[in-house]
Structure 1
Amino acid sequence: MLKVSVIIPAYNAMQYLPETVSSVFQQTFTNFEILIINDGSSDNIQEWVLNLTDKRVKLISQQNQGVSVARNTGISQAQGEYIAFVDADDLWDATKLEKQVSFLDNNPTIGLVHSWMAVIDEQGKPTGRIMASDTEGSAWKQLVEKNTVACSSVMVRRLCFQTVEGFSPRQNEYPVDVEDWEMWIRIAAHYPFAVIKEPLIFYRQHISNTSKNWQSLEKAYRIVIEKAFHTAPPELLYLKNRSYGYANLRLAWKCLQNRDRDYKQALNFRQQALIHYPQLRYCWEYIRLSLAVMALQLFGANIYTKVLKLIYTLRRHLSSLGKESFIYSWIKIK
């Protein structure tokens, strides 16, 4: 019986897709299929797949309908007992499938297992940053506050999608890719989560990541939060302000991560975060955000960017020496 279906949505993704697929081929666990969903690409993806000799790869082409529909297409065609997602620019550690399959096999009540995430740059070099998550067990309360589950780290039992159905199509609801957050919330309402506390995926951070568009993200976050709490019991409604607080904190970071380094808009979102959830002023990400805004105000965008590059270089060096500190506060950058 086929164990794992690996689903890779691809839209004009040939810059990174071969490296992503290679990282799947290098898995120590080999009982899998790869479903590449060509979401209306205009590049040479069809020719490239035809030249692959590994028969585990299947290309499914459709008109461009967005990443959610592409993932749903993959789910509908999947033959594996478990489903794993990976974005077309991310990479996997060679042991990812082996460790997650073993975990699900030995823990039949768990619906979804994810992992920590290491951040790489556009060239695939480690930045030294580890995005850690402790979301496990009955995870609904954790997930409605903020998304702490990276899509490329996830392995889900296929039967979960029979319960919660598929991802919400972007064209109907979401202007950017936050459909995964909404999906994890729905799964968490029915199944326990688990996390493997080591980085098994490598998230590629580059300026074209769609989630850097804070204007679209603001609308998308609001849709997800309102939908999540629409049917929530009254005793859990206190979490809604926390959710908006964390969402505004993330939006503030997105303003700084955009090309224009809009610290004035970041200040507005930071203020909104405190209005919704005043306790955020004591968390490390709020403090780090405030320091970043101060640096931009004092030195300007050019010097700020150069200092960031220096910090990344130092962090990469410390990481290579095994001296990096794990960052437990999660600010999702995708």
Structure 2
Amino acid sequence: MLKVSVIIPAYNAMHYLPKTVSSVLQQTFTNFEILIINDGSSDNIQEWVLNLTDKRVKLISQQNQGVSVARNIGISQAQGEYIAFLDSDDLWNATKLEKQVRCLDHNPTIGLVHTWMAVIDEQGKPTGKVMKSKTEGSVWKQLVEKNTVACSSVMVRRLCFQKLGGFSPRQNEYPVDVEDWEMWIRIAAHYPFTVIKEPLISYRQHISNTSTNWQSLNKAYRIVIEKAFQTASPELLYLKNRSYGHANLRLAWKCLQNRDRDYKQALNFRQQALIHYPQLRYSWEYIRLSLAIVALQLFGVNTYTQVLKLIYKLRRHLSSLGKESFIYSRLKIK
């Protein structure tokens, strides 16, 4: 029986897709299929897939309907017992599938397993940043506050989708950033999660191409949060303000990550975050955001961008030193 179906939605993704697929084909675990969902692309994706020699790779084409519909098409065609999602520009560590399959095989009550993730830049260089999630066990409360589960890190039992349905197809309401969040919340209401505490994926961080992206994201966050609390018991409603607080912090960061580096709008979202959840002012995320806003105000966009590059370079160096120290500490010197 086929064990894993890997679903990769792709829309004009050929700039990164070959490396992404290669990272799957190099997995130490081999009992899988790759379903690439061509979401109305105008590039040469069909010719490229036809030239691949590995028959585990299959192409399913549809008119452009958004990533949710693409993932749902993949789920409906999947033959695997487990389903793993991968964005077309992200990369997997070679042991990712092996470790997740082992985890689900040995823990039959777990519905979803995810991993930590390393952040890379647009060129694929490590930024030195690793996102370390602690989201495991009964995680509904954690997830409604904020999404700490990266889509490209996830492996889910197919029966979860058979029971709960797929991703929301309302792509006009849910931008790519949040439709997975809504899905994880639904799964968390019925199944425990677990996390492999290793960065087994590389998430490619892009600067947004549109200065108004935060507007659709703001709308989408509200839809997800309101939906999540529609049936919540009264004793859990205190989490709603926390959820809006974290969402506004995320929106503030989105403003800084746009090409416009709109720190004035970021200030507005930061203020809204504190109105909803005042304790956020003591969080490291809030402090980092405040420092970034001050840096933009003082130095301007160009200098701020150069400073970020220097920070990434320093972080890569420190990360490399940390790995070398880790390896050295385990050497048996005779």
Report the TM-score when normalising by structure 2.
0.95
The residue number in structure 1 matching 2:174 is 174
Between 1:313-322 and 1:56-65, the stretch displaced more is 313-322
CA contact (8 A) 2:274 2:280 kept: yes
The residue number in structure 2 matching 1:293 is 293
Spell out, residue by residue over 1:23-81, the C-alpha distance to the aligned partner (whole angstroms, 9 max, x if none): 00000000000000001100000000000000101100011100000000000000000
Query: Map of 1:214-225 to 2, 5 A cutoff?
Result: 214-225=214-225
How many residues of Structure 1 are paired with residues of Structure 2 in the alignment?
324
Query: Map of 1:1-334 to 2, 5 A cutoff?
Result: 1-171=1-171, 173-208=173-208, 213-322=213-322
CA contact (8 A) 1:214 1:251 kept: yes
CA contact (8 A) 1:212 1:254 kept: no
Distance in 1 separating the partners of 2:318 and 2:52? 38
Alignment-mate amino acid for residue 234 of structure 1: P
Q: Secondary structure at the match of 1:321?
A: helix
Alpha-carbon spacing, 1:70–1:248, altered in 2? closer, same or farther (3 Å): same
Distance in 2 separating the partners of 1:168 and 1:203? 23
Shift of 1:177: 3.5
Spell out structure 1 runs of 4+ moving beyond 6 A. 209-212
Alpha-carbon spacing, 1:48–1:208, altered in 2? closer, same or farther (3 Å): farther
Between 1:199-208 and 1:132-141, the stretch displaced more is 199-208
Alpha-carbon spacing, 1:222–1:91, altered in 2? closer, same or farther (3 Å): same
Shift of 1:320: 1.6
Alignment-mate amino acid for residue 8 of structure 2: I
CA contact (8 A) 1:211 1:217 kept: no
CA contact (8 A) 2:67 2:171 kept: no
CA contact (8 A) 2:137 2:193 kept: yes
Distance in 2 separating the partners of 1:262 and 1:288? 16
Percent identity of paired positions between Structure 1 and Structure 2 = 90
Shift of 1:212: 8.6
Report the TM-score when normalising by structure 1.
0.95
Alignment-mate amino acid for residue 168 of structure 1: S
Alignment-mate amino acid for residue 22 of structure 1: S
Q: Secondary structure at the match of 1:259?
A: coil
CA contact (8 A) 1:37 1:70 kept: yes
Q: Secondary structure at the match of 1:177?
A: helix
CA RMSD of aligned residues (A): 1.5
The residue number in structure 1 matching 2:327 is none
Alignment-mate amino acid for residue 77 of structure 2: Q
Shift of 1:211: 11
Q: Secondary structure at the match of 2:118?
A: strand
Shift of 1:125: 1.0
Distance in 2 separating the partners of 1:171 and 1:2? 30
CA contact (8 A) 1:176 1:211 kept: no
